[in-house]
Amino acid sequence: MRNRPPPQERHKALLKIELSWGERAEGKMRDKENQSSQGKIRKHRIQNSATLVFSLLLSQAPFTSADILKQLHVITRHGSRPPLSKDANTLLESGGETLTPLGQKQLFDLGKWLRDQYAVGDFMEIYDHKMDRLESSNLDRTLTSANSLSLGVFPKEARLGGNADQFFQNPLPHPPAIPIFSRQDKNDIYLRAYHNCPRFNQNLKRLYTSGTWISLEENSQTLLQKLAEKLPTLLDDNITSVVALKDVWNFYDLIHVARTECNPDPTSYACQSAIEDPNIRSALSDDEFAELESVVHQTEQLKFGLATAESLLGSNLLWEILDRTTQSGRFFLYSAHAPTILGLLSTLKTWGIGELFVDYGSAIVVEVYESSSQAVSIRIVYKAASNATSTPVTLSDIDCNGNNLFVGQDTSTCPIENVISWAEKNTLKTVENWCKVCENISSDVCLMSAAGPWALLEEETQATEPEVILGTFFGGFAAGLVFMFLCVTFANAFRGNDQRETIVPCNVGHDGQPPQEEPNTIQLDEADHGSDEKSLASIT
């Protein structure tokens, strides 16, 4: 059976037949009408095709051309380092000061991933000290981590200030370094708030006596006993035969570092320099170590979860990021620690990061987008060191209005106004409020906050330098006048006393004899003299 022609061809054939059968004049008229009709049809079809093509292109684009990546905020955990131990109550650390070569490589790889993922067009193409800021806690391992990451984010060609052709003129044998900013540890209430919040330490002590903690410890007795057998030197005393759950981190960290640095070569320099006994890496089987990781994950979730940490550990950092989203700037690094990331997640009331525990070189990435109407939105992802891609972090507690600026994106962005509105109700907005709630009386900013009213009064009453000079001049002049007046007054008083003393003995007659006075006058003089003696005696 012969195939039927398409509708368009059949329509054209009928038109031709109709023209051949009609009269000449009528055929011309119909021909004009048909031409007009076909022109309208073609115009309509072209419009529909253009609309369809535009829709297909729009659906394939990751985001609309009007929305651009404005800023990137990256909060990292440092790279691999030697073992460290923590005090369970205060979280004060000892050991683990420096990064291992592997730790430096982990942060370099993270920096390279960030550049490959986000350096599109001129965004982060060249390092700009006015737009890019790298911050770190004041510790060797985090400062070195920040430097290592910067080598990946801003390689040699990105540090030349757009003058790559004349780089040979630079007297340095290597690209110029990028500054890393840090605060004194007692003043670091952003990246190490868990060290500077006494209230959090009190919450930890209460947690260790809670029913949930005791139940987890009882259910983990077999594993805790095995740890005591394998690593008896880490026990606080020789009497205890089981590891306390609050100290399990110290045992986990030692084994974890050994498994990280000494596999597959326990004779390597990195392993030998980081671990005293490389055999510790095999203290537990793979299944036992997986169980230990699960227990540590639960303890860290209890310690840094919302019930214990509240918003104490992440409020300051969150507000610093939110404030910067409305300011100039492009790339911000916060080189920090696992508790920093956990504290920020708890403040955001979310924990789904796609990783059992925050490992070395993992990071939270806050993407800040801006639309053509200057509407700002954010999207948060988590980059696990072991994964090649990031995992979106769902802000389930924040009402984002179902907003999705970017077509085809897995997780919608959230308008910055919505995030700020939520943060104002659920976090500690100001540093002063944080200091008060945390009961911090040692950080400089908290001391200044506590002395706020007195400092304000001092500022209001403080005179300027010209006022001080003028006041000193006139004050000295007035004091001199007062002093001169007193001197003249006392001099006149003493001069009057001397004159009275010389007049009395000269009271004689013209003939050299005492004058003749009446008796009553003499009696009065004697009486007066007696009264003068009494007065003098009383004064003496």
Does residue 514 lie within any of the structural domains?
no
Q: How many domains does the chain have?
A: 5
Q: Which residues contact 496 (CB under 8 A, 6 or more apart)?
A: none
- Which single residue is written with the structure tokens 């907003």? 403
The answer to whether residue 2 is domain-embedded is no
Whether residue 141 contacts residue 98, with contact meaning beta carbons closer than 8 Å, is answered with yes
End-to-end, the C-alpha distance of the chain in Å comes to 153
The pLDDT value given to residue 488 = 75
Q: Which of 261, 279, 306 is the last residue of a domain?
A: 306
**504-513 residue pLDDT tens:** 444 444 455 5
| 24 lies in the same domain as 141 | no
Give me the pLDDT at residue 56, please. 45
Higher pLDDT, 465 or 349: 349
Domain match, 298 and 316 both: no
pLDDT of residue 7: 42
Could you give the C-alpha distances from 264 to 261, 267, 278, 281, 535, in angstroms and in order?
8, 9, 11, 10, 110
Across the range 145-173, mean pLDDT stands at 78
Report residue 152: phi and psi, to 5°.
-85, -40
- Same domain? For 98 and 187 the reply is yes
Are residues 71 and 16 both part of a single domain? no
The DSSP secondary structure of 42-100, one letter per residue, reads: HHHHHHHHHHHHHHHHHHHSSS-TT-EEEEEEEEEE----S-EEE-TTT--EEE--S--
Complete DSSP assignment for 386-399: T-SS-EEPP-TTS-
Same domain, 425 and 341: yes
The answer to whether residue 46 is domain-embedded is yes
Report which of residues 92 and 164 the model is more confident about.
Answer: 92
In a domain, 538, yes or no: no
| Interval 346-370: pLDDT, tens | 999 998 887 888 999 999 999 999 9
Q: What is the pLDDT of residue 467?
A: 63
The residue type at 318: L
Q: Which residue has the higher pLDDT, 46 or 89?
A: 89
Beta strands 132-136; 181-182: pairing state = parallel
Going by pLDDT thresholds of 50, 70 and 90, the confidence category of residue 168 is low
Select from 17, 38, 60 the last residue of a domain: 60
Q: Do 34 and 20 have their domain in common?
A: yes
pLDDT at 58 over 50: no
Q: Give the pairing type, strands 331-336 and 68-77.
A: parallel
* Last-in-domain residue among 408, 442, 461: 461
| Bridge partner residues of 84 (DSSP) | 95
**Do 186 and 77 fall into the same domain?**
yes
Residue 199 inside a domain? The answer is no
d(CA 478, CA 428): 54
What digits encode the pLDDT tens for the residues 399-446?
Answer: 997 655 444 455 579 999 999 999 999 999 999 999 999 999 999 999
- pLDDT at residue 161 in the model: 63
pLDDT of residue 169: 59
Indicate whether 210 and 271 sit together in one domain.
yes
Asked if 149 contacts 107 with a C-beta cutoff of 8 angstroms, the reply is yes
CA distance 454 to 458: 6
Does any domain span residue 508?
no
**Domain span holding position 19:** 7-60
Tell me, yes or no, whether 492 lies in a domain.
yes
In a domain, 254, yes or no: yes
The candidate with the shortest Cα–Cα distance to 102, out of 253, 251, 256, 271, is: 271
In whole angstroms, how far apart are CA 523 and each of 224, 283, 460, 527, 528?
116, 123, 71, 6, 8
Q: What is the mean pLDDT of residues 513-529?
A: 46
Write down the pLDDT at residue 513: 54
Checking if the pLDDT of 253 tops 50, the result is: yes
What pLDDT is recorded for position 38?
57
Q: Rounded mean pLDDT of 163-184?
A: 76
Q: What is the CATH number of the domain that holds 109?
A: 3.40.50.1240
31: its two tokens: 């021909």
pLDDT greater than 80 at residue 237: no
Extract the tokens encoding 215: 């139940």
pLDDT digits (tens, 9 = 90+) for 493-502: 766 655 555 5
Chain centroid to Cα 26, Å, comes to: 84
Residues 242 and 377 in one domain: no
Residues 232 and 374 in one domain: no
Q: Are residues 132 and 272 in the same domain?
A: no
My answer on whether 423 and 378 are in the same domain is: yes
pLDDT of residue 108: 98
- Would the pLDDT of 384 be above 60? yes
The two counts, helices (H) then strands (E), for the chain are 19, 10
